[in-house]
Chain A
């Protein structure tokens, strides 16, 4: 799903159109009104609804929702999950972009397609596959209960540790890592491919070692693209619902992320608290959009020079 998330735009062509190719004024007015009405109905209204519902009963209940220890635990878990999943995918994204953009090898296009795979998988299935691997009915569970395991010491260790992944924090982190897997890589691969290898060759020829080349030449060139990928990756990591819902087990105060906490409050008809926590996530979305626009603007500026 390669066009799924818009890349930094590669063109900034704003052509002046002549009169013969301009639309009549009434056409322009009609189309603009239709477009704005459509966006108002589908985008502005839901966003506004989050905040009005959150503040419906005033600021007291709004801030009260964040004094609840379960809410605080859910915020903490969401931050922890993003703090593991995002750096892991940054590391992967940089490594994948480095080998795909800077070297030639066979199977490259297959690898690029496989990296995009998680975007094509339903969030629910993203959670399910980890249940199949690590759940009690899954491979890990079967291994823990197997009569003749390959490595008895490993089985014993796993049982002694009461090693749990599903319905625990590791499962949430893994499922989040899966759904945010392609974000950084898909941003960096086209960017680094368009930059080519000339600057790195020059650095190496002048005697820089690998790390020096990477940190002093490659990283400064890709920093905005990297930032862009990180922002999108982080927004999805903090907001993921379906995949996390399957692996979490919904234990209040323990395995609830913010979106799951919103669901629980909502299903308990505690609407003002649900929308209060939701408004925090909506604020995250707004910050994401602002930063994203800022980077696109920076990118356009740097191309003009």
Chain B
């Protein structure tokens, strides 16, 4: 971007009009409605607020939402790295189609993804046969590795239980890591790898000591983006989750449940907690991107 000679008055017209419209539209559509959530919550007493955001059922939903989003983000980070690597470095027939397909979770409506995943993983679905396998594995853990409530943590079914939530959240977060890593991989200088190879490093050492550290900021950024998206996700999860209070009820669903019971204050208080978590993540993502940019200038 050219920074030259724009400190003096621009000769281009339309600054006042475009900025005025931008601010008015931003205020009306985004800022005023968003502030309504905070104003509504500010009207609550502290005791009511704590009651609303820290009751056992709500705490259970935070644990589930944060835990499942973290797990889905992590799986996406690992497999996203492999997918991005394969798409940038290797060539195979149909690569362009595969590359385009990665964006499917952005383009496919979440409700459609939700019912499709449910149809696949339900007991009579295409992969319904996985359910007894999963149930057996969790049962085995429960029996031989005591001390952890495995059945509670991992669920005993796939659809209509916790694994289903994890699958749906993995689906919707899939593009983030791939799309953050691809440009970084493309710009990775081959000289670095060549130097490493010339100095006698094995391919694995080059990968671990040279390439992965370069990719690390982008991997974390992608993970955080996928995590943030998963935290608020609703459409793809409700169909497959089973939605049992205290066990498979995600936080966004709890907000809807409270709304349907006309508990507007309770719903808004939980929403504010979720909003603050999202804003912290947004801040983190901005810092991460600054970090990775600085990292790449060196």
Contacts and interface: CB of A to CB of B under 8 A. Distances in A.
Given A4-B176, A18-B194, A35-B86, A43 B102 contact: yes
B34 interface: yes
Interface in B249-295: 252-253, 255-256, 259, 262, 264, 267-268, 271, 274-275, 278-279, 281-282, 285-286, 289
Contacts of B274: 122, 125
B275 A42 contact: no
B26 A114 contact: yes
B248 interface: no
Contact of A10 (B183, B229, B268): B183
A215 B34 CA distance: 35
B149 interface: no
B278 A120 contact: yes
Given A35-B82, A120-B281, A122-B278, A6 B119 contact: no
Contacts of B252: 122-125, 242
Contacts of A282: 108, 112
Given A43-B104, A98-B14, A288-B107, A122 B232 contact: yes
A95 B126 CA distance: 49
A297 B276 CA distance: 39
B110 interface: yes
B158 interface: no
B36 A139 contact: yes
Task: Name the interface size band of chain A.
Answer: 35 or more
Nearest to B174: A42
A132 B268 contact: yes
A187 interface: no
B241 interface: no
A118 to B, nearest CB: 6
B83 A39 contact: yes
A159 interface: no
A268 to B, nearest CB: 13
Contacts of B127: 45
Contacts of B100: 289-290, 292-293
A289 B30 contact: no
B171 to A, nearest CB: 5
Contact of A132 (B33, B170, B186, B228): B33
Interface string A13-55: 1010110110110011001101110110011111101100100
Nearest to B280: A120
B98 A122 contact: no
Contacts of A18: 190, 194
Contacts of B183: 9-11
Interface string A278-300: 10011011101110110000000
Given A3-B222, A38-B82, A95 B34 contact: no
A31 B82 contact: yes
The A contact surface, by secondary structure, is helix
A227 interface: no
Contacts of B239: 263, 266
B10 interface: yes
Interface in A108-155: 111, 113-118, 120-125, 128-133, 135, 137-139
Interface string B189-202: 01001100110000
A82 interface: no
B233 interface: yes
A49 B118 CA distance: 10
A30 B198 CA distance: 25
B29 A178 contact: yes
Contacts of A2: 285-286, 289
B108 A92 contact: no
Contacts of A172: none
25 contacts: A1-B225, A1-B228, A6-B179, A9-B183, A20-B194, A34-B79, A43-B101, A46-B116, A46-B117, A91-B21, A92-B21, A99-B19, A121-B278, A123-B233, A125-B37, A129-B271, A178-B29, A196-B1, A210-B12, A213-B13, A245-B235, A260-B111, A278-B115, A281-B112, A292-B100
Interface of A: 1-6, 9-11, 13, 15, 17-18, 20-21, 23-24, 27-28, 31-32, 34-36, 38-39, 42-47, 49-50, 53, 91-92, 95-96, 98-100, 102-105, 111, 113-118, 120-125, 128-133, 135, 137-139, 174, 177-178, 181, 193-194, 196-198, 200-201, 204-205, 209-210, 213-214, 232, 235-236, 238-242, 245-246, 258-260, 262-263, 266, 271, 274-275, 278, 281-282, 284-286, 288-290, 292-293
Given A3-B221, A13-B187, 5 more contacts: A5-B179, A36-B86, A122-B252, A125-B37, A204-B12
Nearest first, the 7 A-B pairs at minimum CB distance are A122-B232, A239-B109, A241-B235, A210-B13, A242-B234, A20-B197, A285-B107
